[in-house]
Amino acid sequence: MKTRILTAVAAIVVILVPCIIFMHTVVLPVILGLFAAIAVHEVIKATGGKNNVLLALSCITAAAVPFLFHFNIEIPFMPVAICYALVYFIIMVPMHKVTTFNDVITALFATVAIPSSISIFILLRDVYITKPDSYTKASGVFLILFAMFCAWMTDTFAYFSGKFLGKHKLCPNVSPNKTIEGAVGGVIGAVVMNLVLFFVFDKFFFTVHTLVWWQIIIISAVLSVVSMFGDLSASIIKRNHGIKDFGKIFPGHGGVMDRIDSCLFVLPALYFALYLINI
C-alpha cells in the first residue's frame, strides 16, 4: 500500500505536472510519445512477440504519432495504414520462424490504437483552437484533468470501496479482487471529484461556459464505467498470457500499460462525448 501511494504521488509530480505546465510546448508530445512507445513495447513483449524488427518499428512509430497531432500534420490515413500493414507482413516472411500472424496483428493493433488514443490529450488541449466559440485554453487543462480523474479516481475509489465494503465479485474469472461495491464506489468517487474539479474551474478559470454541472455528472459516470472496461480488458490480456503486470516501471503499479489502460478507453470516449455536445 505504501509503495503504491508513493509511486502514485511521484508519477503525478514527475509526469502529470510537467505535462500540464508545458502542455502547449513540444514537451507534451515528447512525454506522450515516450509513454506510447513503452506501452507498445510492453504489450508486444507480454503477448510473446519475439521479432525485434517489428518491435523496433512499432515503438518508433508509436513515439512519432503524438508529434503528428501536435504539429497538426495531416496524412492520407487509409493509404498509409495499408502500406504500413504491408510492411509488417513483408517483414514476417523472411522472419517467419520467430513471427506468427498473431504477432503481426498484435503489433499492428498496438501501434495504431495506443498512440492514437493517448494523443487525444493533444486534441483536448487544442479544443480552444478547433472550437474557439465554445472553449478556452483553461478548458483544455480542465478536460485533460477531467479525463485523468475519470480513470484514476475510479480506480482509487474502487480499490478502497472494494477493500472495506466489497462482498460481491464483479468479474471473478477476469479480475478476482474487483467487487460490485468497489465498482459503485469508483463511479461515485469519480463523479464527486470531477464535480469538485468543475466547480473550481468554473469559479476561477472558465470565461466560456460550455459544460454544466449535470453534464459533468452524466459524463463522469459513463466514463467511469468505460474506464473499468479498459482495466478489465487489460486484465484479460494479462490473464490470457499468464502475467501479473505488463511491466515493472512503477513499483506497486506495474508498467506504463498498467497505468494507462483505463485512460486509453476514457480519452476517445470523452472526445466523442464533446463531439456530441457540440454537434
Q: Give the pLDDT score at 48.
A: 93
Do both 231 and 93 map to the same domain? no
DSSP state of 243: -
Do both 253 and 136 map to the same domain? yes
Residue where a domain terminates, one of 107, 125, 143: 125
Half-sphere exposure (Cβ direction) of 150: Cα atoms closer than 13 Å: 32
Residue 1 has pLDDT above 60, yes or no: no
Distances (CA, A) of 110 to 25, 27, 44, 148: 26, 23, 8, 21
Do both 89 and 187 map to the same domain? no
Do both 43 and 115 map to the same domain? yes
CA 213, distance to chain mean position in Å, is 24
Residue where a domain terminates, one of 72, 90, 125: 125
Full residue range of the structural domain in which residue 249 is found: 132-279
Report whether 206 contacts 196 (CB < 8 A): no
- In 119-255, alpha helices (H): 120-125, 127-130, 137-148, 154-165, 180-204, 213-240
Do both 111 and 48 map to the same domain? yes
Do both 18 and 65 map to the same domain? yes
Do both 119 and 141 map to the same domain? no
Residue 3 has pLDDT above 60, yes or no: no
Do both 85 and 191 map to the same domain? no
Report whether 21 contacts 12 (CB < 8 A): no
Q: Give the pLDDT score at 219.
A: 97
Rg of the chain, C-alpha, whole Å = 19
Q: Is the dihedral of CA 223, 227, 229, 233 positive or negative?
A: positive
Give kind and range of the element (H or E) at residue 175: strand 175-179
Residue where a domain terminates, one of 100, 125, 150: 125
Nearest to residue 244, comparing CAs of 184, 146, 175?
175
150-159 burial, b if ≥16 CB within 10 A, otherwise e? bbbbbbbbbb
Do both 117 and 140 map to the same domain? no
Interval 142-169: pLDDT, tens: 999 999 999 989 998 998 999 899 889 9
Report whether 118 contacts 264 (CB < 8 A): yes
Do both 76 and 16 map to the same domain? yes
Give the other-Cβ count within 10 Å of 272's Cβ: 11
Decide: pTM greater than 0.85.
Answer: yes
Beta bridge partners of 5: none
Interval 48-68: pLDDT, tens: 999 999 999 999 999 999 999
Do both 214 and 250 map to the same domain? yes
Do both 227 and 109 map to the same domain? no
